[in-house]
Amino acid sequence: MHEKNIRRIITKQLKKSFLNWSKMDWKSKKELAKQIMAEVLDKYDFAQTLDVPIEELIGIEDQAPSAGIPNLSEMASYPTTCFIWIP
């Protein structure tokens, strides 16, 4: 999960600091992403516990589920059952 948290931090930094990201060429994007990733990895503490909601880690915090579709926490609470098919 630390990889997802690092990706979340990098994405937030790119969206906040580089508003012209979509207009940059791919070489400069690649170089800039490498620099930011190196900075984040130098400062990141892998021993920390993550207190970020799972929805934010996997990038669906802005998505609202359609009517009748449960969210991730409701899905996790469903009991799992095992069906055995015997021919």
In the prediction, which pLDDT does 27 show?
Answer: 92
The verdict on residue 50 lying in a domain is yes
The verdict on residue 58 lying in a domain is yes
The verdict on residue 81 lying in a domain is no
Domain limits for position 20: 2-62+69-76
The verdict on residue 84 lying in a domain is no
Taking only the tens place, the pLDDT of each residue in 6-31 is 888 888 888 888 888 788 899 988 89
The verdict on residue 86 lying in a domain is no
Q: Collapse the DSSP code of 4 into the 3-class scheme (helix H, G, I; strand E, B; otherwise coil) and give the result.
A: helix
**Residue pair 5/50 in contact by the 8 Å Cβ criterion:** yes
Token pair 């920390």: residue: 48
- Would you state the structure tokens that stand for residue 58, as one six-digit string? 């996997």
In the prediction, which pLDDT does 36 show?
Answer: 87
**Residue pair 57/8 in contact by the 8 Å Cβ criterion:** yes
Tell which residue, 13, 8, 19, has the closest CA to residue 61: 8
Taking only the tens place, the pLDDT of each residue in 65-76 is 677 777 777 777
The verdict on residue 21 lying in a domain is yes
| Domain count along the chain | 1
The verdict on residue 85 lying in a domain is no
The verdict on residue 41 lying in a domain is yes
